[in-house]
Amino acid sequence: MQGLEVRSLRKAFGGLTVAEGIDFDLPPGARKALIGPNGAGKTTFANLVTGKLTPSGGTIRFDGADLGALGEAARVKRGIAKTFQITTLFRTLTVRENIRLPILERLGRGGRLFGRAACNAAVEDEIEMLLDQLALISLADKPVHSLAYGQQRLVELALTLALKPRVIILDEPAAGVPSSESHLIVQAIERLPGDLAVLIIEHDMDLVFRVAHSIVVLVNGRILTEGTPDEISRDPRVRQLYLGGAHD
């Protein structure tokens, strides 16, 4: 299968099982959200996929290949990326300078295959493309610390996209973003490349229902159900457990 394929995933911390029997697919182009109450195991699941945590059982495959033996950096090279956190941005550097760093990092030794001028031009073109994609062009030469919080979160996203991922895990993209700026995040997600597989972990249900085509509900480390936003919003178990009947 193309994309991410998780089977019977299990994780225990000592005697505490925080993921159990998780089957999960994320094909190219997916727009899937993972929701669930606090402590349901959403972050743990993301960390198992990125390789930050080692599973206690089960398999994680990408394009058919078992990722089990690969560490975090190797999985990023395969194309599996989780968003950077604002704390990793260089606050005194400009947006453009911040975006340049992961591109150069990605090119690594490969950058030397090009002549210096050609390489620099290619890097600058790529920065422009990302600035454009995330509607950051007018802010390109401003230091990150001068940006609104929602804009800083877009820079985070730009840095992650600079890794040219094929799977992207957006870890609470709207956390801390005032509601007056949340449309920036929605627009950015809507403008992600069509073939990118996107997993959104988010507490903001308005955002989830706007951008996700499919929603997985995790409770106590197990998948309770998966469905379209419409199906999920009508599921009485989900309403009772998580949504509090707020979504009609």
Ligand X SMILES: Nc1ncnc2c1ncn2[C@@H]1O[C@H](COP(=O)(O)OP(=O)(O)OP(=O)(O)O)[C@@H](O)[C@H]1O
Residue 33 vs 134, nearer CB to ligand X: 33
Residue 36 vs 150, nearer CB to ligand X: 36
Size of residue set near ligand X by CB under 6 A: 11
Q: Which stretch binds ligand X (CB under 6 A): 35-43, 59-67, 96-104, 148-156?
A: 35-43
Tell me: does residue 43 bind ligand X (CB under 6 A): yes
Q: x/- binding map, residues 2-21, to ligand X, per CB under 6 A?
A: -----------x--x-x---
Tell me: does residue 182 bind ligand X (CB under 6 A): no
Tell me: does residue 82 bind ligand X (CB under 6 A): no
Q: Which residues ranging from 136 to 155 are in contact with ligand X (CB under 6 A)?
A: none
Q: Which stretch binds ligand X (CB under 6 A): 38-46, 69-77, 123-131, 140-148?
A: 38-46
Q: How far is the CB of 125 from ligand X (least distance, A)?
A: 37
User: What secondary structure, in 3-state letters, does the chain show?
Assistant: CCCEEEEEEEEEECCEEEEEEEEEEECCCCEEEEECCCCCCHHHHHHHHHCCCCCCEEEEEECCEECCCCCHHHHHHHCEEECCCHHHCCCCCEHHHHHHHHHHHHHHHHHHHCCHHHHHHHHHHHHHHHHHHCCCHHHCCCEHHHCCHHHHHHHHHHHHHCCCCCEEEEECCCCCCCHHHHHHHHHHHHCCCCCCEEEEECCCHHHHHHHCCEEEEEECCEEEEEECHHHHHHCHHHHHHHHCCCCC
Tell me: does residue 39 bind ligand X (CB under 6 A): yes
Tell me: does residue 48 bind ligand X (CB under 6 A): no
Interface with ligand X by CB under 6 A: which residues? 13, 16, 18, 36, 38-44
